[in-house]
Amino acid sequence: QVQLVESGGGLVQPGGSLRLSCTTSRRLHIFSLFNLGWYRQAPGKQRELVATHTINNRANYADSVKGRFTISRDNVKNVVYLQMNNLKPEDTAVYYCNAQSPRVDADYWGQGTQVTVSS
């Protein structure tokens, strides 16, 4: 089994920055074949997609974070990052990473890391 572990969350003031990381419990030689994504869920709201990084190396973002967040990956280290700049109070949520492989029908989730943006 493969587990995903997020880190980097915390409390920041509006306008601040954080970098989230998500890594696998063990290195996978097929990590490059996984689509990766970051999701978030605020209290009382549905989980929403924040950003994705696909197998063909394309990054996509929710409109609410475009220009502020950047997703990237390191296939050798099995890590996906989410750089978050100019954070806003509405970014407050638990952030989850996801890795999925359509070919092997795999879908892995992390346990989440709390991001709180407040003065």
Residue-wise pLDDT for 72-111, tens only, equals: 999 999 999 999 999 999 999 999 999 999 888 889 999 9
Query: Cβ(93)–Cβ(46) under 8 Å?
Result: no
Q: What is the pLDDT of residue 49?
A: 97
Q: What is the pLDDT of residue 103?
A: 85
Range list of β-strands (E), the chain: 4-7, 10-12, 18-24, 35-41, 48-53, 59-61, 69-74, 79-84, 93-101, 106-109, 113-117
Structure tokens at 70: 């950047």
pLDDT at 1 over 80: no
pLDDT at 28 over 90: no
Q: What is the pLDDT of residue 95?
A: 98
Q: What is the pLDDT of residue 102?
A: 85
- pLDDT tens, position by position, 29-79: 889 999 999 999 999 999 999 999 999 999 999 999 999 999 999 999 999
